[in-house]
Structure 1
C-alpha cells in the first residue's frame, strides 16, 4: 500500500498565547528546563492533529496546510474498500466517509495523522534495533521499519551507514540472508571477493562475524534508530523527542546535523535538552531553525520564541558561542560571573548551603572579564532567560562597562548614576591616596634620581610600583569592598546603589571580591577555590556572609523564573 498524503504544520499555538508560523521545511526545536513540557508538547501536537480529546498543557491548537486533496486520498483508498465502503488496511479499519475529516479545519483523525507524522520517541528507540520480520519486496505494502526499507533499497542502507560511521567509525550492515528476520550488524563492511555477491554463503559468513546491533550499548542503538528512521521514512512531518538520549555530545551533534541535512522536503519538530543538538542543527540548516523555549510559571506553562535571527546571534557571536551561554537556554536561570573560579565557588556554595526549595536548575557562565558581561546578559535577557550578574566591587570604578551592564539588565542608568557618582567621588577623595598631580610629581622625582644613559635601578622601579599602588584607591578596593567608602552620606549612597543593583539582577560582592568572603585563605583565583571547597560550606562561620550573598542571588532568580 503506497499511499501518498501530503500536508504540513502551518501554525502552532501554545497555551501561553504564543503563535508561530512554520514554513514547509522548518526545523522547530522546543527547549527549556527539566519538566517544562518539551516531550508533552510533541505528544499534544500529534493529538491535536488526530482530533483526540483535548488534554492541553502546552499546545492549545495546531493548523495544517493541506497539499493533497480529498479526492486524491479517496482514489488511493478505494481499492481497499468493500461494498459497504469499509476500508481495511494494516492496523486500521474505517468507513471511507472518515476521509472527509481531511477537509475540516480541525484534526484529521488518527489514520491520516499516521500517514503524515513520523513519531520518534525515546520509549521504543532501543527495541527498534532488534531484528524485524523479513518482507516480500514485491508486495504493495510499504515497509514499516527502517531495516525493511534498507533491505529493499541498499542506497538507503549506505546513506544510514555513512552517518553511523561518522559517529562510531563503523558501518551499519543489513543482513539480507537471515531467513524470516532482518538483523543489522556493525563493524567494517565486508567487500565481496571475486565471484561473490551479497548472497554468497562466504560473504554472509563474514557479515555474521560482525557484532550484532541489538547487542550494542544504548547510545549506539539509539543513534541507529533515529538516523535510520530520519533517512528512510518519507512521511513529511517528523516529531523527534530527545534525539540526544544515551549519546555523548559529539554524537548528538552529528545526529542533529544529519536530521537537518535531510533537505527541504521535510518538516521537523524536536524536543531537546541539549545545546549540542542545537549546534548540530545550526551547522548546515541555520536558516531553517527556530527555537521555542518553554518555562514553568505560576500560571502554568509559558513559551518564548527565539527567531532565526536570535538563534544566529547565539551561534555566530564568538563571545556567546565559546562561553557556552547557549546552555543557559536549557535551565531555569543563568548566573554570569567574571571568571571561571567565581563560577566554581558560587556553584559549590549554593549546592552545599541552600535548601531544596531555594535551589534552581541554574547554569553558570563566565564572561572572561567585565567588558564581556553585558554581551552575555543582553543575549539571555532578549530571550527572557532569568539572569543574574555577580561582579567584583571594582566594577564601580568606571562608568563603562557598569552602564552597559545595568542597561543589559534592563535598568535605567539615570536612576543609578547619582549614587554611583557619589560613591566614586568619595572613594577617590580619600586622603590616604596620592592625587593625580602628586603622583606625577613623585614619579618624576624617581625618574630623575638616576643618571641619564644608565639602566633603571631596581630601587627606582620598586618605588614607582609603590607609588602606583597608592595612586588609586580602586587598586585596593578588592581588599576592602564597601568599607572603603567613608561613613555618612557616601556610605548611604553606596548601600542604596548596591541594593538597587540587586533589584535588577546585578550583585556586587560587598567584600570586594570572591576571596573577600574568606580572607584567612591567603590565595587567589582557582587555588583559593580549591582551599575553600575543603571547608564546611554550609556551616563555616567565616562564610556566613557568602551564604547570605548567594541566597540573595537565587532569591532573585526564583522571582524572575516565576
Structure 2
C-alpha cells in the first residue's frame, strides 16, 4: 500500500530530506526522544485521513501504490459488507469496512480512488485504508487477546480471530510460533457460543473438529486448556502481535516498542517471526523499538527490512536509512557481535575503549560528571570495549558509517603503531587520506624523540617526557586526531589518571583499587567528585566533539 515515505529532514543540518522506499518491515531506531513513536503516530494519522496534521514534525509525505481495475475490484470485494436488515443503500453504492466500521460509498468513486491514490488520498484513506490500519502500543497489544465476536460465517471475516478460526493454515502457523516460544499450543475456543477465545493447550487438538467444534470432545479439550487472558503480559503481548501479523487483516500495522513485557530472547524471536511472515505479502509493518534483540531477529529472518535511525539534538533532527547489507556486515564480525555494538543504534553517542577496565573507568567518570558536573558529562552514551588499541577502529568505523558518533580512546603508545595499524586507525576515524602520509611522518618523528629520552612513554608521563617544540609537535598531532574523534591519553595510559588518589596496580587490579579510593557514597567525605582538570576535563573535551554539529569524522 505505502510505496515511499518522505521525511522532513535528512542525514544532517541542511541535507536533502530522507526518502524511505518501503519494504515489508520498516524499523525506526534511535535514542530516546528522537521521534520514533511520533513517526508511527504521524503515519497512522495520514493513513486514516489522507492528509498531514499541522503538528507533524517527522512526516513530509507518503506515496501510495496505485492499482489496476482488476486488483482494485478484488480488494474492494474483500471489504464489501452486506447491508443490514432495513439498511438503506443508495443507487450504485456499496458498504465497505472492517473491525466494526461501515462506510457507504459510491463504488465507482472508490474504484477511482484506488486507481488514483496519490491524487485522491483523502478518499482512498478515509474510505478504505483507515479501517485497514492498526496501531498498537503496550496496552492495546495486550487487549488483542480478549475474546472477540465469532461473526457471521456467511460473511467475510472481520477480525483476526475470525480469520484464524476459518483458515486452518494460518491458525497452525500461529500455533507453530507460539509453541516455539512458550512450549504450549495455541487454539481458538468457540465453545462460548457467539464468541471466540484464545487458549494455550498442553497438547495440540487431535483433529480440526476437536478445536473448532462444540461437541463434548471439543468442550472437554478447551476446558483443559489455559485461557491466554490469564497469562502474563509478555505472553499476551507476544500472542496478540503474532495473531494480527499472521491473520493478515490490516494492510498497515504500526507497533510501538513490541519488546515491551518480553524477555530479550522473545524479542529476538518476535522480530524474526514478524519479518519472516511479511515475505510475499502486500502489508506494511512499521515498528519503533529500543531492542537490539528485536532488530537482530528482523535482520536474521532473511526478509527485506528497512532500518531508519532517527536523532534529535539542539533542535536539529536527522534520519538515516541503514541497509540490511550494512547491518549484516556489522553483525558477521565476531568481535562486533561480542561487544554488543548493535546497541549503539539506540544511543546518541558511543565511546570505545581498549579494554573492559578502561570502559568501566570512563563510564564511572561520566556517571559522576552527569551527576555533579553535567556541563562536562556525556548524556545518552554507550560505552563499549575492544580487545586492544588495534581493534578500537574495527568498532568505531562501522558505527560511524551508520551515522553514529563513535569516539575511540587509546593510550599514548598508539605512537608505536606504524604502517598498516596506524593507517587503519586513521581510516577508522575517517581522517582524509591525503593527510595520512603527513600524520604518519609526524607520528614517527614524535616517537623517535620519545625513544631518544630512554623513557617508557606509557609509564613515564606520555608527552610530558618531551619539552619545548617537541612537546608542542606531539600535542599538535593529538589535537588533529581529536578533531576526528580519536582521543589519546596524553599522559600515557589509563593508570595515569587521578594519580593523586594513589591507586596502585595495573588493569583490573588498578581499577578495583581506584574505585575503592574514589568511594561509592556521594554523601561521604571520601567520595571523589569531579574537578576541572585531569580525566574530568578529558571527558569534557570528548563531549565537545560529540555535541559539535560540525564535528569531523562522520561520513555523509
- Which band: TM-score by shorter chain? 0.7 to 0.9
Match of 1:105 among 118, 123, 134: 118
Distance 1:561 1:317, change over 3 A: farther
Deviations along 1:327-357, whole A, 9 cap, x unmatched? 1111101101111221111112211222456
Q: Is the 8 A contact 2:28 2:289 kept in 1?
A: yes
Shift of 1:372: 1.6
Aligned to 1:257: 272
Task: Supply the distance in 2 between the matched residues of 1:184 and 1:75 (Cα, whole angstroms).
Answer: 30
Structure 2: gaps (5+ residues): 10-15, 552-556
Q: Is the 8 A contact 1:239 1:270 kept in 2?
A: yes
Distance 1:95 1:308, change over 3 A: same
Secondary structure of the 2:34 match is: coil
**Alignment pair present for 1:29 and 2:23:** no
Aligned to 2:37: 39
**Alignment pair present for 1:245 and 2:260:** yes
Deviations along 1:379-424, whole A, 9 cap, x unmatched? 1111211111111111111224233222321223345345423321
**Alignment pair present for 1:508 and 2:488:** yes
Aligned to 1:463: none
Match of 1:303 among 303, 319, 333: 319
Task: Supply the distance in 2 between the matched residues of 1:91 and 1:165 (Cα, whole angstroms).
Answer: 33
Distance 1:39 1:561, change over 3 A: farther
Secondary structure of the 2:138 match is: coil
Aligned to 2:293: 276
Aligned to 2:102: 92
Aligned to 2:158: 143
Q: Is the 8 A contact 1:386 1:561 kept in 2?
A: no
Secondary structure of the 2:193 match is: coil
The normalised TM-score by structure 2 is 0.83
Distance 1:551 1:196, change over 3 A: closer
Q: Is the 8 A contact 2:95 2:102 kept in 1?
A: yes
Shift of 1:186: 2.4
Task: Supply the distance in 2 between the matched residues of 1:406 and 1:28 (Cα, whole angstroms).
Answer: 34
Match of 2:468 among 458, 476, 488: 488
Task: Supply the distance in 2 between the matched residues of 1:328 and 1:212 (Cα, whole angstroms).
Answer: 39
Q: Is the 8 A contact 2:150 2:195 kept in 1?
A: yes
Deviations along 1:14-64, whole A, 9 cap, x unmatched? 1114343536x5432221111111122122223333313433211101111
Deviations along 1:297-354, whole A, 9 cap, x unmatched? 4444211121232222113233323322111111101101111221111112211222
Distance 1:527 1:178, change over 3 A: farther
Aligned to 1:219: 234
Aligned to 1:450: none
Task: Supply the distance in 2 between the matched residues of 1:94 and 1:191 (Cα, whole angstroms).
Answer: 41
Shift of 1:283: 1.4
Aligned to 1:386: 405
Deviations along 1:475-504, whole A, 9 cap, x unmatched? x33222325532111111122222222221
Task: Supply the distance in 1 between the matched residues of 2:550 and 2:189 (Cα, whole angstroms).
Answer: 52
Shift of 1:270: 2.2
Aligned to 1:133: 149
Q: Is the 8 A contact 1:14 1:61 kept in 2?
A: yes
Secondary structure of the 2:140 match is: coil
Shift of 1:200: 4.2
Q: How large is the Cα RMSD of the aligned pairs?
A: 3.0
Task: Supply the distance in 1 between the matched residues of 2:75 and 2:292 (Cα, whole angstroms).
Answer: 44
**Alignment pair present for 1:52 and 2:51:** yes
**Alignment pair present for 1:13 and 2:12:** no
Match of 1:168 among 182, 187, 192: 182
Task: Supply the distance in 1 between the matched residues of 2:491 and 2:39 (Cα, whole angstroms).
Answer: 46
**Alignment pair present for 1:403 and 2:402:** no
Task: Supply the distance in 2 between the matched residues of 1:166 and 1:341 (Cα, whole angstroms).
Answer: 39
1:430-509 to structure 2, matched below 5 A, reads 430=453, 433=454, 473=455, 476-483=456-463, 485-509=465-489
Task: Supply the distance in 1 between the matched residues of 2:309 and 2:443 (Cα, whole angstroms).
Answer: 36
Secondary structure of the 1:109 match is: helix
Aligned to 1:460: none
**Alignment pair present for 1:65 and 2:104:** no
Deviations along 1:117-175, whole A, 9 cap, x unmatched? 44343341111122222333x2313231x333333334323211211122222222322
Match of 1:204 among 198, 219, 236: 219
Deviations along 1:496-530, whole A, 9 cap, x unmatched? 22222222111112332222214522223233323
**Alignment pair present for 1:338 and 2:350:** no
Task: Supply the distance in 2 between the matched residues of 1:196 and 1:375 (Cα, whole angstroms).
Answer: 57
Distance 1:83 1:133, change over 3 A: closer
Deviations along 1:226-285, whole A, 9 cap, x unmatched? 111111124444333322121111101111111121122243332222111121112132
Aligned to 1:428: 451
Shift of 1:216: 1.7
Q: Is the 8 A contact 2:199 2:228 kept in 1?
A: yes
Task: Supply the distance in 2 between the matched residues of 1:360 and 1:397 (Cα, whole angstroms).
Answer: 33
Shift of 1:75: 7.0
Q: Is the 8 A contact 2:24 2:281 kept in 1?
A: no
Task: Supply the distance in 2 between the matched residues of 1:165 and 1:533 (Cα, whole angstroms).
Answer: 47
Shift of 1:546: 1.8
Aligned to 1:525: 507
Shift of 1:98: 5.5
Distance 1:196 1:410, change over 3 A: closer
Task: Supply the distance in 2 between the matched residues of 1:526 and 1:498 (Cα, whole angstroms).
Answer: 27
Task: Supply the distance in 2 between the matched residues of 1:370 and 1:241 (Cα, whole angstroms).
Answer: 39
Aligned to 2:329: 313
